Amino acid sequence: MIKNGYGKNISFILKWLIVLSSLGGVILGLYFAERDGYSHWATRLMYFTGQSNIWIGVWTILLLISPYIKSLTTDKAKRVLYIVRYIFTVSITITGIVYCTLLAPFAYKENFDAWTLSNILTHVVAPILSVLDFFLDEYKFKVTKENIIFTAIPPLAYFIFAGTLNIFDVDFGRGDPYPYFFLNLKSPAGIFGFSSTPTFVLGSFYWVLLFIAMIYGIAAIFMVINSFIMKKTSG
Protein backbone atom coordinates (compact mmCIF):
# COMPACT_ATOMS: atom_id res chain seq x y z
CA MET A 1 0.00 0.00 0.00
CA ILE A 2 3.05 2.26 0.06
CA LYS A 3 3.54 3.69 -3.39
CA ASN A 4 7.21 4.65 -3.38
CA GLY A 5 10.17 2.40 -4.05
CA TYR A 6 11.31 2.63 -0.43
CA GLY A 7 8.05 1.06 0.74
CA LYS A 8 8.35 -1.61 -1.93
CA ASN A 9 11.81 -2.56 -0.69
CA ILE A 10 10.56 -2.77 2.90
CA SER A 11 7.71 -5.05 1.84
CA PHE A 12 10.11 -7.23 -0.14
CA ILE A 13 12.40 -7.62 2.89
CA LEU A 14 9.46 -8.30 5.20
CA LYS A 15 8.18 -11.05 2.92
CA TRP A 16 11.50 -12.86 2.96
CA LEU A 17 11.68 -12.51 6.74
CA ILE A 18 8.17 -14.00 6.96
CA VAL A 19 9.27 -16.97 4.86
CA LEU A 20 12.39 -17.50 6.98
CA SER A 21 10.64 -17.15 10.33
CA SER A 22 7.51 -19.18 9.51
CA LEU A 23 8.95 -22.03 7.46
CA GLY A 24 12.31 -21.88 9.24
CA GLY A 25 10.54 -22.04 12.59
CA VAL A 26 8.48 -25.02 11.50
CA ILE A 27 11.56 -26.87 10.22
CA LEU A 28 13.40 -26.18 13.49
CA GLY A 29 10.39 -27.46 15.40
CA LEU A 30 10.37 -30.68 13.39
CA TYR A 31 14.11 -31.16 13.87
CA PHE A 32 13.89 -30.75 17.66
CA ALA A 33 10.50 -32.45 18.03
CA GLU A 34 11.73 -35.39 20.12
CA ARG A 35 13.79 -33.08 22.34
CA ASP A 36 10.62 -31.08 22.95
CA GLY A 37 8.69 -34.16 24.02
CA TYR A 38 6.97 -35.24 20.80
CA SER A 39 6.85 -38.92 19.88
CA HIS A 40 7.60 -38.20 16.21
CA TRP A 41 8.50 -35.09 14.24
CA ALA A 42 5.45 -35.46 11.97
CA THR A 43 3.04 -35.03 14.89
CA ARG A 44 4.01 -31.37 15.15
CA LEU A 45 2.32 -30.83 11.80
CA MET A 46 -0.96 -31.86 13.44
CA TYR A 47 -1.04 -28.57 15.36
CA PHE A 48 -2.55 -25.31 14.14
CA THR A 49 0.76 -23.58 14.77
CA GLY A 50 2.62 -25.62 12.16
CA GLN A 51 -0.23 -25.47 9.67
CA SER A 52 -0.85 -21.72 9.93
CA ASN A 53 2.88 -21.00 9.60
CA ILE A 54 3.13 -23.20 6.53
CA TRP A 55 0.11 -21.47 4.99
CA ILE A 56 1.50 -17.98 5.46
CA GLY A 57 5.05 -19.00 4.50
CA VAL A 58 4.11 -20.79 1.29
CA TRP A 59 1.61 -18.09 0.30
CA THR A 60 4.22 -15.38 0.87
CA ILE A 61 6.57 -17.23 -1.48
CA LEU A 62 3.76 -17.24 -4.04
CA LEU A 63 3.37 -13.48 -3.60
CA LEU A 64 7.10 -13.02 -4.12
CA ILE A 65 7.15 -14.97 -7.39
CA SER A 66 3.72 -13.84 -8.67
CA PRO A 67 5.12 -10.86 -10.66
CA TYR A 68 7.06 -13.39 -12.77
CA ILE A 69 4.01 -15.57 -13.51
CA LYS A 70 1.89 -13.96 -16.21
CA SER A 71 -1.39 -15.54 -15.12
CA LEU A 72 -0.95 -14.05 -11.64
CA THR A 73 -0.38 -10.46 -12.77
CA THR A 74 -3.98 -9.70 -13.75
CA ASP A 75 -6.08 -7.56 -11.41
CA LYS A 76 -8.43 -10.46 -10.68
CA ALA A 77 -5.57 -12.86 -9.87
CA LYS A 78 -3.86 -10.29 -7.64
CA ARG A 79 -7.07 -9.67 -5.73
CA VAL A 80 -7.55 -13.40 -5.10
CA LEU A 81 -3.93 -13.70 -3.97
CA TYR A 82 -4.33 -10.89 -1.48
CA ILE A 83 -7.74 -12.00 -0.19
CA VAL A 84 -6.21 -15.39 0.67
CA ARG A 85 -3.21 -13.60 2.15
CA TYR A 86 -5.61 -11.60 4.35
CA ILE A 87 -7.26 -14.84 5.52
CA PHE A 88 -3.91 -16.45 6.36
CA THR A 89 -2.71 -13.28 8.10
CA VAL A 90 -5.70 -13.46 10.45
CA SER A 91 -4.93 -17.16 11.09
CA ILE A 92 -1.29 -16.54 11.96
CA THR A 93 -2.36 -13.64 14.20
CA ILE A 94 -4.69 -16.00 16.08
CA THR A 95 -1.77 -18.43 16.43
CA GLY A 96 0.33 -15.77 18.13
CA ILE A 97 -2.39 -14.39 20.39
CA VAL A 98 -3.71 -17.76 21.59
CA TYR A 99 -0.22 -19.12 22.26
CA CYS A 100 1.01 -16.07 24.16
CA THR A 101 -2.16 -15.65 26.25
CA LEU A 102 -3.63 -19.14 26.74
CA LEU A 103 -0.92 -21.72 26.14
CA ALA A 104 2.54 -20.38 27.02
CA PRO A 105 1.52 -19.14 30.51
CA PHE A 106 0.52 -22.70 31.49
CA ALA A 107 3.43 -24.49 29.79
CA TYR A 108 5.29 -24.95 33.08
CA LYS A 109 2.54 -27.26 34.32
CA GLU A 110 3.34 -29.65 31.48
CA ASN A 111 7.10 -29.23 31.89
CA PHE A 112 7.18 -27.72 28.41
CA ASP A 113 9.64 -25.04 27.28
CA ALA A 114 7.37 -22.43 25.75
CA TRP A 115 10.11 -20.15 24.48
CA THR A 116 12.39 -22.24 22.30
CA LEU A 117 13.69 -20.57 19.14
CA SER A 118 11.17 -22.41 16.97
CA ASN A 119 8.31 -21.32 19.25
CA ILE A 120 9.43 -17.71 19.21
CA LEU A 121 9.72 -17.71 15.42
CA THR A 122 6.34 -19.35 14.78
CA HIS A 123 4.32 -17.70 17.57
CA VAL A 124 5.82 -14.23 17.82
CA VAL A 125 8.10 -13.26 14.93
CA ALA A 126 6.08 -14.68 12.02
CA PRO A 127 2.74 -13.25 13.24
CA ILE A 128 4.17 -9.77 13.85
CA LEU A 129 5.97 -9.65 10.50
CA SER A 130 2.89 -10.95 8.68
CA VAL A 131 0.69 -8.22 10.13
CA LEU A 132 3.27 -5.52 9.37
CA ASP A 133 3.68 -6.64 5.78
CA PHE A 134 -0.08 -6.88 5.28
CA PHE A 135 -0.42 -3.18 6.02
CA LEU A 136 2.84 -2.03 4.40
CA ASP A 137 2.50 -3.93 1.13
CA GLU A 138 2.73 -1.69 -1.93
CA TYR A 139 -0.23 -3.43 -3.59
CA LYS A 140 -3.44 -1.49 -2.91
CA PHE A 141 -5.95 -4.04 -1.65
CA LYS A 142 -9.16 -2.89 0.02
CA VAL A 143 -10.61 -5.32 2.54
CA THR A 144 -14.41 -5.62 2.43
CA LYS A 145 -16.99 -7.01 4.85
CA GLU A 146 -17.47 -9.95 2.49
CA ASN A 147 -13.77 -10.83 2.86
CA ILE A 148 -14.14 -11.01 6.65
CA ILE A 149 -16.55 -13.95 6.40
CA PHE A 150 -13.87 -16.20 4.89
CA THR A 151 -11.30 -15.62 7.66
CA ALA A 152 -12.96 -18.25 9.87
CA ILE A 153 -12.54 -21.03 7.28
CA PRO A 154 -8.98 -22.19 8.20
CA PRO A 155 -9.61 -22.31 11.99
CA LEU A 156 -12.99 -23.99 11.55
CA ALA A 157 -11.44 -26.57 9.23
CA TYR A 158 -8.79 -27.20 11.88
CA PHE A 159 -11.40 -27.53 14.64
CA ILE A 160 -13.17 -30.21 12.58
CA PHE A 161 -9.84 -31.96 11.89
CA ALA A 162 -8.74 -31.94 15.55
CA GLY A 163 -12.20 -32.85 16.83
CA THR A 164 -12.44 -35.85 14.52
CA LEU A 165 -9.04 -37.16 15.66
CA ASN A 166 -10.03 -36.54 19.28
CA ILE A 167 -13.14 -38.70 18.89
CA PHE A 168 -10.95 -41.57 17.70
CA ASP A 169 -8.32 -40.96 20.44
CA VAL A 170 -5.51 -40.21 17.98
CA ASP A 171 -2.33 -39.18 19.82
CA PHE A 172 -1.10 -35.70 18.90
CA GLY A 173 2.45 -36.65 19.80
CA ARG A 174 2.56 -35.72 23.47
CA GLY A 175 0.44 -38.56 24.85
CA ASP A 176 -2.86 -36.69 24.53
CA PRO A 177 -5.65 -37.25 21.97
CA TYR A 178 -6.06 -33.50 21.48
CA PRO A 179 -3.74 -30.66 20.44
CA TYR A 180 -4.93 -27.99 22.89
CA PHE A 181 -6.92 -28.26 26.12
CA PHE A 182 -9.84 -26.30 24.69
CA LEU A 183 -10.25 -28.82 21.86
CA ASN A 184 -10.52 -31.84 24.16
CA LEU A 185 -14.08 -33.02 23.55
CA LYS A 186 -13.70 -35.55 26.36
CA SER A 187 -12.51 -33.12 29.02
CA PRO A 188 -14.37 -32.74 32.36
CA ALA A 189 -16.39 -29.97 30.66
CA GLY A 190 -16.99 -32.04 27.55
CA ILE A 191 -18.47 -30.34 24.49
CA PHE A 192 -21.39 -28.34 25.90
CA GLY A 193 -20.74 -28.57 29.64
CA PHE A 194 -18.89 -26.62 32.30
CA SER A 195 -16.32 -27.69 34.86
CA SER A 196 -14.53 -26.39 37.94
CA THR A 197 -11.40 -28.28 36.86
CA PRO A 198 -8.74 -25.90 35.51
CA THR A 199 -7.94 -25.31 32.74
CA PHE A 200 -11.01 -26.74 31.03
CA VAL A 201 -13.86 -24.75 32.66
CA LEU A 202 -15.81 -24.35 29.41
CA GLY A 203 -16.88 -27.07 27.01
CA SER A 204 -15.17 -27.11 23.61
CA PHE A 205 -18.26 -25.71 21.89
CA TYR A 206 -18.03 -22.47 23.86
CA TRP A 207 -14.29 -22.19 23.23
CA VAL A 208 -14.92 -22.50 19.50
CA LEU A 209 -17.55 -19.75 19.69
CA LEU A 210 -15.08 -17.53 21.55
CA PHE A 211 -12.41 -18.16 18.93
CA ILE A 212 -14.79 -17.42 16.06
CA ALA A 213 -15.71 -14.14 17.76
CA MET A 214 -11.99 -13.39 18.20
CA ILE A 215 -11.26 -14.22 14.57
CA TYR A 216 -13.98 -11.94 13.27
CA GLY A 217 -12.97 -9.24 15.74
CA ILE A 218 -9.36 -9.27 14.53
CA ALA A 219 -10.50 -9.45 10.90
CA ALA A 220 -12.73 -6.41 11.45
CA ILE A 221 -9.93 -4.45 13.15
CA PHE A 222 -7.66 -5.23 10.21
CA MET A 223 -10.38 -3.98 7.85
CA VAL A 224 -10.69 -0.68 9.75
CA ILE A 225 -6.91 -0.13 9.74
CA ASN A 226 -6.78 -1.11 6.07
CA SER A 227 -9.53 1.41 5.24
CA PHE A 228 -7.67 4.15 7.14
CA ILE A 229 -4.42 3.43 5.30
CA MET A 230 -6.19 3.33 1.94
CA LYS A 231 -7.68 6.77 2.54
CA LYS A 232 -4.30 8.19 3.62
CA THR A 233 -2.39 6.77 0.65
CA SER A 234 -5.01 7.77 -1.92
CA GLY A 235 -5.46 11.26 -0.54
Q: What is the pLDDT of residues 149-204, one digit of tens each?
A: 999 999 999 999 999 999 999 999 999 999 999 999 999 999 999 988 777 789 99
Rounded to the nearest 10 degrees, what angle do helices 48-65 and 153-167 cross at?
140
List the domain range (segments joined by +) for residue 175.
5-234
Is the per-residue pLDDT at 14 higher than 60?
yes
Over residues 11-22, the mean pLDDT reads 96
- When pLDDT is averaged across residues 42-54 and rounded to a whole number, the result is 97
Q: How far is the C-alpha of 68 from the C-alpha of 230, rounded, in Å?
A: 26
Q: In percent, how much of the chain has pLDDT > 90?
A: 79
pLDDT, residue 1, reads 40
Look at residue 7 in the predicted model and tell me its pLDDT: 62
Its pTM stands at 0.93
Amino acid making up residue 45: L
The count of other CB atoms within 10 Å of the CB of residue 15 is 18
Q: Among 49, 48, 52, which Cα is nearest to 60's?
A: 52
Check if the beta carbon of residue 234 is closer than 8 Å to that of residue 225.
no
Sequence-ordered alpha helix ranges (H) in 32-167: 48-65, 75-98, 117-120, 126-136, 145-149, 153-167
pLDDT given for residue 32 in this prediction = 95
**Which pLDDT score is estimated for 8?**
75
Give residue-wise pLDDT tens across range 81-112: 999 999 999 999 999 999 999 898 877 666 67
Residue 140 has a pLDDT of 78
The three-point CA angle 21-135-23 to 5° equals 15
Count the domains in the chain: 1
Q: Which residues contact 58 (CB under 8 A, 6 or more apart)?
A: 23
* Alpha carbon distance 235, 228 (integer Å): 11
2: confidence class by pLDDT, cuts 50, 70, 90: very low
Q: Higher pLDDT residue, 229 or 16? A: 16
